[in-house]
Structure 1
């Protein structure tokens, strides 16, 4: 089913078709040439890059930090903390987008909170072209940090505890234990989260579309939202198919690079 769908998308990408008429006009690689020369495509990829770098690294750092904090048996109420950390991951994106659209509005709860600390004015977090992309990154970090936390916690629980005991006997401090023992042991988890994060950033659609719709202007336009607008709103089915294949190619390139880098590190 997957390969048939990809093949059909490839065929549609060679057509000048609105998606409604029985057949389109063959145009060869004209859609791909138009995509390469489309400034919106490069702008949207730039947004995806900034969004991906911010979300991947911050989610991994926060997830690892919380996993280390909650790895000790002496922590009271660990099960409750784990549920609180992971709960945003299972929430529906539509519910998350609706909630944050209200909280980040000029008269929303987040600005009310800032006012209690002396902040003046009402910042339109999702309506300001200079802030909207970072606001979306913050929403994504809030929702998906629990996933990084879960993977790190599972990986830490599988590490031989004798390594930490031996390091403590040798007089190693907490920072040295984390740097020289814990982090190298989590290399596979780092690679998995980086790979999943890259693909997730490329595929991000629901949060963006339901909060900003790619705006204001095109300040939060992602490749996925641009594809959606081309095929649903502007009836450019052939062009949107070409953009979809470009998205697939980028995801495959990133996946291949990361897998090879991980295997090289193992050698």
Structure 2
């Protein structure tokens, strides 16, 4: 029998290390070193090109927290996160319940629900930019049913642009919530459902009081993924509105991009991105703690 220090065991450990080495190189060499370098750049006044770098310490971070555009962008992310997460979870759960039984062409409906998730965000953004334009499909449909008064330039007006982007995101990612809820519903304890029905609980009461609480782990997972997704949302916003009109749809990611690429302020953009990273970590820890507390 091989001992822990035998050549066979050491050889097995070496082979295991070789298997994980590529992933280790990627994580350490690209992710962690990249974060470290970004933290270093955040302490500089630097355009991002050339060698003209001047250390400024924490001045960039002080500038971030006194920057009104930063707070405006953060408020947009918060509104976007609340709207999209709530809608995606509600629609995803509803569709998962409706399609959980034996339904004619149920497999087709499930594919249709999940299809937007695998589409390219660039393609989705371009398509919806056309649909939501003044002469686009949505306004044409409204005119066709006599609702001309509701037509507008949905992504070109500050009052509607942010909600229009939220609707695009909901359409694109509700299928992900649907799939997770479908999997979770398959693990629901049917004995509790039968007991509730024997006690006289109706379908809605059983659903709300028995089924939904058993999906708490899925709820927490979707909230966590949704918050992180909202913080890093970039492509759909940039390709539809570019953060406009004005700054009505400015997100942290689009502001970072504009600051670094258009404004040639690499140091300040790096500080913004470090704040974004810390926000993501903080919210993740809070949600994990809340989920753990809820289970205890």
> Which category of TM-score, normalised to the shorter sequence, fits these structures?
over 0.9
Q: CA RMSD in A?
A: 0.9
Q: Match of 2:36?
A: 7
Matched, 1:133 2:178: no
Which of 57, 64, 79 is the aligned partner of 1:28? 57
Question: Larger deviation: 21-30 or 183-192?
Answer: 21-30
**Counterpart secondary structure, 1:130:** helix
The normalised TM-score by structure 2 is 0.88
Ranges of 4+ aligned residues in structure 1 off by more than 4 Å: none
Give the whole-Å Cα distance in 1 for the aligned partners of 2:211 and 2:165.
Answer: 31
Q: In the TM superposition, what are the counterparts of 1:160-239 in structure 2 within 5 Å? A: 160-239=189-268
**Which of structures 1 and 2 has the bigger CA Rg?**
2
Q: Match of 2:131?
A: 103
Cα offsets for 1:176-195 (capped at 9, x unmatched): 11111111110000000000
Aligned length: 266
Cα offsets for 1:94-141 (capped at 9, x unmatched): 000000000000000000111122112540000000000000000000
- How much has 1:166 moved relative to structure 2? 2.7
The normalised TM-score by structure 1 is 0.98
Cα offsets for 1:192-227 (capped at 9, x unmatched): 000000000000000000000000000000000000
- Determine which structure has greater relative contact order: mean sequence separation of CA pairs < 8 Å that are 6+ residues apart, divided by chain length: 1
Question: Larger deviation: 120-129 or 35-44?
Answer: 120-129
- How much has 1:162 moved relative to structure 2? 2.6
Question: Larger deviation: 176-185 or 217-226?
Answer: 176-185
Matched, 1:262 2:291: yes
Matched, 1:50 2:68: no
- How much has 1:23 moved relative to structure 2? 4.7
Which of 27, 46, 51 is the aligned partner of 1:17? 46
- How much has 1:232 moved relative to structure 2? 0.8
Runs of 5+ unmatched residues, structure 1:
none
